[in-house]
A and B are shown apart, each in its own frame.
Chain A
């Protein structure tokens, strides 16, 4: 069963968001990393780049496939997890911790309310898996 921490917000594109003050940390979920398989390459934006909600901000590649990653909410990238360029496997091993991808300054914190709760996301993954 996929790990879905209660304190995070989730998108239907399988990203998670952890709100910390006026910023949010973003990564992909345990369910997503498991579906992808071994992550071998992560391409992320640079700090300073602005994104709308549900915009592609990078790609995650496994041996077999390329997946785009999408912003759950709008904002400006203020920090990027550079460690993933040398150790992309962190996305598999610790998707909610060392596998985080970017930190964004939230331009519209109200958007967070439109994201799924852990329970809603769990239901969503179940319906998708069928």
Chain B
């Protein structure tokens, strides 16, 4: 594999010096795991804290008098409900009600929004957003190169990060953010994440990435038995899967609608028109034919992405993500199956390389943290 054509985050050399195993992901050269290993990284994030380089994510800056109406027209959640300093989970939708990408919409002011999108889809999203701009008074900028993004996730995220900032972190509500400084570095501190834990995503200038990363590792006691660990993409994936969160390209794609993906909660059909609204309203009326479900294996075996789901030996669906769940110590997955087979406790089988292995449908999220 050639790393030469891959994009690098500002932390690339840091990952290498920490012993990160680098892999290609969405056109980026990223650490899949560090020497502690995926299981330990996963568990440490659940019990202490994990640090993730997510600088590969894309940022699209939207400014102007019509920033809110414009973004409201191209996304599924209701942007008018946001207040300054608040973020929301949403999707860019196609006219068919399927998903161009999932994203976070940050509202700084009523004429300034920031869209944070997936790494592998940043260019596609940027083209999509530009081509769907009509007469709204907005200025669009692909600001992806202007930010590094570092996520600190886990029950100790607040005490660790609080050592480095005067911003009162407890006061930032979930899915809100504050502009402040971390170790003197101007930063957006967002109480969001992709692990099912409490924590923050910190955005700053890319040339400050290394400084921020190292300061957070130190503040978190990296190297000590109960210290923070840097975590790779593999742990990020198992953490989000346990938390029942969708991954673009797996649970949500341009072939799956929001309603099929159980994302009705970010599909605000009454907010006014948006791309895909008509089809989604129609689908809601008629009911979906298949749905995304969670399952756990009831027999020995690990389901993997793209394997077939069987009911009574017949193929009925497909696994979108399948993996061991290190914290739950189960083998779990998500899959699309026809609605008649989506009942909790429904027995299914997964075709694991030619063998039908038993599984059953369970509620998601698989893992839910204890809130204090």
Instruction: Give the B-binding residues of A (Cβ under 8 A).
Output: 37-38, 40-41, 59, 61-64, 66, 85, 92
Contact status B302-A64, CB under 8 Å: no
Per the bound structure, the CA–CA distance linking A17 and B301 in Å amounts to: 27
For residue A35, which residue of chain B has the nearest CB? B21
Q: Taking the complex as formed, is B72 at the interface, i.e. its CB lies under 8 A from any CB of chain A?
A: no
Sample of 10 more A-B contacts, CB < 8 Å, known A61-B302, A64-B32: A37-B33, A38-B39, A40-B302, A61-B324, A63-B324, A64-B33, A64-B323, A66-B302, A66-B304, A92-B37
Contact status B302-A38, CB under 8 Å: no
Q: Which residues of B contact A41 (CB under 8 A)?
A: 300-302, 324
Per the bound structure, the CA–CA distance linking A88 and B346 in Å amounts to: 30
8 cross-chain pairs, A with B, having the tightest CB-CB distances, nearest first = A63-B38, A38-B39, A64-B234, A40-B324, A38-B37, A63-B324, A61-B302, A41-B302
Q: Taking the complex as formed, is B93 at the interface, i.e. its CB lies under 8 A from any CB of chain A?
A: no
Q: Taking the complex as formed, is B86 at the interface, i.e. its CB lies under 8 A from any CB of chain A?
A: no
CB distance from A30 to the nearest CB of B (A): 14
Contact status A37-B234, CB under 8 Å: yes
Partner of B234, one of A61, A63, A66: A63
Contact bitstring B350-369, A, C-beta under 8 A = 1, else 0: 00010000000000000000
Partner of B326, one of A63, A66, A92: A63
Contact bitstring B311-341, A, C-beta under 8 A = 1, else 0: 0000000000001101000000000000000
Partner of A63, one of B300, B301, B323, B353: B323
Per the bound structure, the CA–CA distance linking A59 and B357 in Å amounts to: 15
Bin chain B's interface residue count: 10 to 19
Q: Which residues of B contact A66 (CB under 8 A)?
A: 302, 304, 353
Q: Which residues of B contact A61 (CB under 8 A)?
A: 302, 324
Q: Taking the complex as formed, is B238 at the interface, i.e. its CB lies under 8 A from any CB of chain A?
A: yes
Q: Which residues of B contact A85 (CB under 8 A)?
A: 300
Q: Which residues of B contact A63 (CB under 8 A)?
A: 38-39, 42, 234, 238, 323-324, 326
Contact status A37-B302, CB under 8 Å: no
Q: Which residues of A contact B324 (CB under 8 A)?
A: 40-41, 61, 63
Contact bitstring B11-49, A, C-beta under 8 A = 1, else 0: 000000000010000000000110001111010000000
Contact status B304-A37, CB under 8 Å: no
CB distance from B80 to the nearest CB of A (A): 41
Per the bound structure, the CA–CA distance linking A38 and B324 in Å amounts to: 11
Per the bound structure, the CA–CA distance linking A63 and B231 in Å amounts to: 14
Contact status B304-A62, CB under 8 Å: no
Residue picked from A38, A59, A66, A85, most chain B C-beta under 10 Å:
A38
For residue A92, which residue of chain B has the nearest CB? B37
Contact status B38-A38, CB under 8 Å: yes
Per the bound structure, the CA–CA distance linking A41 and B330 in Å amounts to: 12
Per the bound structure, the CA–CA distance linking A61 and B38 in Å amounts to: 13
For residue A85, which residue of chain B has the nearest CB? B300
A-B contacts, 28 of them at CB < 8 A, read A37-B21, A37-B37, A37-B38, A37-B234, A38-B37, A38-B38, A38-B39, A40-B39, A40-B302, A40-B324, A41-B300, A41-B301, A41-B302, A41-B324, A61-B302, A62-B38, A63-B38, A63-B39, A63-B234, A63-B238, A63-B323, A63-B324, A63-B326, A64-B32, A64-B234, A64-B323, A66-B302, A66-B353
